[in-house]
């Protein structure tokens, strides 16, 4: 094991033992946090309403999606081009999903941001699963673009992940969604 890899392992172990937070060292301005979360909110509203054009405009050119199943370690992550999501939405192969999230953690430095947040996903009013969403974003021409969305798909984790107060769910979905 090289010195770089062992250094990261030591750092990760320290974070596990004492806890690491980026909030003090890498402060996010209220304006940036608002813009970043507005982008995430707009993504989920567009997903719920089937607005493929809005979602397509939110992705950077080479954006990807990554899905993992923590309950099945033998199953490798599923990776795809984000453009595949847009194609699926336009062809009607992708259902309209309502995916509220809560308690987002936003980390940002200059034109780079990460949003880490628990979520639940439902289709036609039926809860499908919960998990963690991770948005990797960059500011391009004054707008936050989505470079990657990764998520865990955890059908048995909802009780563990749900907030005490579901009134903290974001975003505000249009009536009927």
* pLDDT tens sequence across 118-142: 999 999 889 999 999 999 999 999 9
Residue 19 lies in a domain: no
Residue 10 lies in a domain: no
pLDDT in tens, 59-72: 999 999 999 999 88
Residue 40 lies in a domain: yes
H or E, element range at 123 = strand 112-123
- Count of domains observed in the chain: 1
Residue 37 lies in a domain: yes
Residue 142: give its domain's CATH number.
3.10.450.50
Residues sharing a CB contact under 8 Å with residue 48, sequence separation 6 or more, in sequence order:
96, 97, 98, 99, 173, 174, 177
What's the CA gap between 35 and 144, in Å, rounded? 7
Whole-model pTM: value is 0.83
Full residue range of the structural domain in which residue 72 is found: 26-168
Residue 14 lies in a domain: no
The H-assigned helical ranges of 21-173 are 30-49, 52-58, 82-91, 158-161
């Amino acid at each position: 094991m090289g010195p770089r890899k062992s250094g990261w392992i030591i750092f990760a172990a320290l974070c596990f033992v004492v806890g690491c937070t980026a909030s003090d060292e890498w402060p996010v301005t209220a304006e940036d946090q608002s813009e970043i979360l507005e982008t995430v909110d707009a993504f989920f509203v567009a997903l719920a309403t089937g607005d493929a054009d809005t979602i397509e405009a939110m992705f950077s050119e080479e954006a990807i999606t990554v899905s993992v199943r923590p309950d099945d370690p033998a199953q490798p992550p599923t990776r795809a081009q984000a453009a595949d999501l847009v194609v699926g939405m336009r062809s009607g192969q992708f259902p309209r999903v309502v995916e509220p999230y809560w308690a987002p953690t936003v980390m940002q430095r200059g034109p780079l941001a990460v949003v880490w947040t628990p979520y639940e996903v439902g289709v036609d009013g039926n809860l499908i699963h919960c998990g963690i969403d991770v948005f990797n974003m960059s500011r391009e021409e004054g707008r936050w673009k989505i470079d990657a969305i990764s998520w865990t798909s955890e059908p048995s984790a909802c009780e563990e992940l749900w907030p005490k107060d579901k009134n903290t769910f974001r975003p505000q979905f249009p009536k009927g969604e």
